[in-house]
Structure 1
Amino acid sequence: MSMDTPQGRTFLGVPDAGQQALSGVSIAIFGAAEATPHLPGRASHAARAPSALRDSTQSIASDLLRWDFDQDGPLLAPGLRVVDLGDLATSPATPLENRALISATTASIVKAGAVPVLLGGDDSVPIPFFAGFESCGPLTIVQIDAHLDWRDERGGLKHTFSSTMRRASEMPWVERIIQVGQRGVGGSRGDDLADARAWGVSLFSAASVRRHGVEPILAQIAPDSRCIITLDCDGLDPAVIPGVLVPQPGGLFYLDIVELLHGIAARARIVGFDLVELVPDADVRGLGVLAASRILCVALGCIGRQRSALRERRPKAR
C-alpha cells in the first residue's frame, strides 16, 4: 500500500507510520486527494487539501501540551497514540482503484482497533470511506454539508460528490443518517429530497441550526451508538471557510461545529471522521485552512477522550 507524507510533514507533527505500525494506535490519520472525479480524468479541485492541512499545524506542533480552549484541554492529550499514514497513491485516472484503496485502508485501520481520520479530497472520497466500516455496523452518519448529495447519478457517474449520501444509504451497515447545514442551490432535485425523506434521513437546514441550535440534532443520535462524522467544508459559512468549490451564504459557524462535535462525543462513540471539499487555492489568507485544521484538532480531542475513557473502563489484568 503506497503512502506518502510530503517532506516528512505530518498533521500536528505526530509520528508517521506505515500500516504495519498500527498496533496500539488510537487514531490513524491519512489523506486521499482523489476518489471519483466529477470530470473524468481531471484532478480534484481539493487535491491539495491534505498537504495544506498538515502545513497549517506546523507552527503549533512543537508543543502539543498547550491549552486549547476549544477542547478545554491540551492540544493533544498526553499518552494518546496518534499516527499519520501519509497520503494514498490515488490518481484522477483510476477511480475504481482509488475507491478500493480508500476502503481497504479504512478497513485495515478499523481492524487494528484504531479510529480512521481521513483528510480529503472532494466529497466523493467519503463514499469508499464509509464502505470501509462494513464490520462496524450498525452505524449513524452525521453529515455537515450545504448540499443534499442524493443524486443517483450525474453525467452517468454514480460515485461522485453529488451522490455521497445516496450511496451511503445503500450500505446495509448504515442504520441512520443525519444531515446538517443544507441551504442554497445544489445538484439535487425534488425527487432526490423525497427519496432522502422516504429513507428516513433527519434533515437540519442551516436556518434551523440558526433558530434552534444543535440540541435538536443531538436528540436524533441514539445514546451509545457508533457514529461517523463527515464534514464538507461548504457546510460552514464562506466567512469561515471561503476556500470551497461552491460557496453558499448562510452556513454554520466555527463554534457551531465545535459544539456539535462535543455534543456528539457526549452521546455516541465516534468511530470515524472525514473532512473534504477544502480548496486551498480559493482560500483567503489561509483562514479557511486554519478553521478546517482547528476542526480536525477538536475532532481528535473528542475521539482521544473517548479512547482514554474506554481504556480506563477495561478491567486491569491480574
Structure 2
Amino acid sequence: MIFGAPDATPHVPGVNSHAACAPSALRESTQQIARDPLRWDFDQNGPLVAEGLRAVDLGDLPTNPATPQENRSLVASTTASILKAGAVPLLLGGDDSVPIPFFAGFEQFGPLTILQIDAHLDWRDERAGLKHTFSSTMRRASEMPWVECIIQVGQRGIGGSRAVDLADARAWGATLFSAATVRQNGVQPILDHIPPGSRCITTLDCDGLDPSVIPAVLVPQPGGLGYLDVVELLHGVTRRARIVGFDLVELVPDADVRGLGVLAASRIVCVALGCMARQRSAKGPTDQ
C-alpha cells in the first residue's frame, strides 16, 4: 500500500518541508509511466506492472508542519495498520524525518534490517534542540529494539555529521559503504552484509544518487550512486532477504531539471513495487 507524508518533523518548526510537494509529483509521474502497464520494463526484466501486483494508493496523510508529534504518530499508526493487513507499506515523503516514524510503525513486526541509501550519515543526536529531524534519522532508528542491523550506503562530501556521530554509528555496529566504495567494488559487498532471510526496510534519500541522476534535492553532492546501482540493490535485496517496507524521501520537485529527478525517482518506485510483487509470488519462511 502506498501513502504519502508531506511532513513529519520540519527542521524549521512550523514551516512546510522542502520536499512536501514530492508525493504529488511522484504520483503524476508514475501515472504517466503506467498508462500502458504491459510495456516491457528492462529494469525489471518483465512487464512494467508485475503480474499479481495489487497497489493501493491511500493518498497523503493530513500532516501539518505545526504539529510534528501528531505527524509522527499518524505515520507510525498508518504503517502499523498496513502491516497488520498483511500488506507492504511504501511511503512517499517528505523530508528525511519521515522515515523515523515509519520505522517506529514496525515495532510489532521485527526484527528488522534497514538498508539506507543516502549521501549523509544522519546520526546527530539533536540539532538546534530537535531530535527527530532529517539529521537524526539513523540515530533514532538505532534506538529501536526491533532494528537489529543497519547498512548505510552512499556517504560522500560533507553534511551535518561530526566525528563523534561517525564513532557512535560504528560503535553501534552500523556498516557503512561510502559512494567511493560502491564505485570501486560495486553493490555485491553490500548485499553480502544483508542477513539472509531477514526482513528489510529500504529507505532511499534522493541525495544518495548523483545529482546528474536526481538533481532535485536540497543539497546536491557530486559523486553519488547511479540509477542502475539502486536498481541492482533492490533486486539483490529481493533475492537475499525480503523487502517489508520501502520509503523514498528528500525529492524536491522545485529544484528539478527538465523533470529528470522526478522521472528517476518514480522509476525507482516502479522497480521497488515490482520487486515486492515478485517476492510476494514466491513466498518463503520470512513471510508474515
Please classify the TM superposition score into its range, dividing by the shorter chain length: over 0.9
Verify the 8 A CA contact 1:241 1:289 in the aligned structure 2: yes
Verify the 8 A CA contact 1:227 1:268 in the aligned structure 2: yes
Alignment correspondent of 2:253: 280
The one-letter amino acid paired with 1:284 is V
Of 133, 140, 163, which aligns to 2:106? Answer: 133
Deviation at 1:173, TM superposition (A): 0.1
Deviation at 1:62, TM superposition (A): 2.3
Structure 2 counterparts to residues 177-216 of structure 1, below 5 A? 177-216=150-189
**Over aligned residues, Cα RMSD in angstroms?**
1.2
Deviation at 1:252, TM superposition (A): 0.2
Alignment correspondent of 1:309: 282
Of 228, 235, 250, which aligns to 1:262? Answer: 235
Query: Is structure 2 residue 193 aligned with structure 1 residue 220?
Result: yes
Deviation at 1:59, TM superposition (A): 2.1
Question: How many Å separate the matches in 2 of 1:265 and 1:276?
Answer: 21
Q: Deviations over 1:135-160 (max 9, x none)?
A: 11110000000000000000000000
Of 26, 44, 51, which aligns to 2:24? Answer: 51
Q: Deviations over 1:86-139 (max 9, x none)?
A: 000001001000000000000000000000000000000000000000111110
Verify the 8 A CA contact 2:34 2:49 in the aligned structure 1: no
Q: Deviations over 1:256-282 (max 9, x none)?
A: 101111111110010000000000000
Question: How many Å separate the matches in 2 of 1:301 and 1:34?
Answer: 26
Where 1:135 maps in the other structure, the secondary structure is coil
Verify the 8 A CA contact 1:65 1:78 in the aligned structure 2: no
What is the percentage of aligned positions where both structures have the same residue? 80
Where 1:263 maps in the other structure, the secondary structure is helix
Q: Deviations over 1:40-59 (max 9, x none)?
A: 00110000000000111222
Question: How many Å separate the matches in 2 of 1:273 and 1:210?
Answer: 24
Gap regions ≥5 residues in structure 1? 1-27
Where 2:207 maps in the other structure, the secondary structure is helix
Large movers: runs of 4+ above 3 Å: none
Question: How many Å separate the matches in 1 of 2:215 and 2:5?
Answer: 21
Deviation at 1:79, TM superposition (A): 2.8
Of 116, 128, 133, which aligns to 1:160? Answer: 133
Question: How many Å separate the matches in 2 of 1:299 and 1:73?
Answer: 13
Gap regions ≥5 residues in structure 2? none
Of 37, 43, 58, which aligns to 2:10? Answer: 37
Where 2:283 maps in the other structure, the secondary structure is helix
Alignment correspondent of 2:92: 119
TM-score by length of 2: 0.98
Question: How many Å separate the matches in 2 of 1:268 and 1:309?
Answer: 12
The one-letter amino acid paired with 1:61 is A
The one-letter amino acid paired with 2:211 is P
Query: Is structure 2 residue 57 aligned with structure 1 residue 84?
Result: yes
Alignment correspondent of 1:250: 223
Deviation at 1:78, TM superposition (A): 2.8
Query: Is structure 2 residue 44 aligned with structure 1 residue 71?
Result: yes
The one-letter amino acid paired with 2:214 is I
Q: Deviations over 1:200-237 (max 9, x none)?
A: 00000000000000011011011110000000000000
Verify the 8 A CA contact 1:140 1:177 in the aligned structure 2: yes
Question: How many Å separate the matches in 2 of 1:292 and 1:60?
Answer: 12
Where 1:309 maps in the other structure, the secondary structure is coil
The one-letter amino acid paired with 2:19 is A
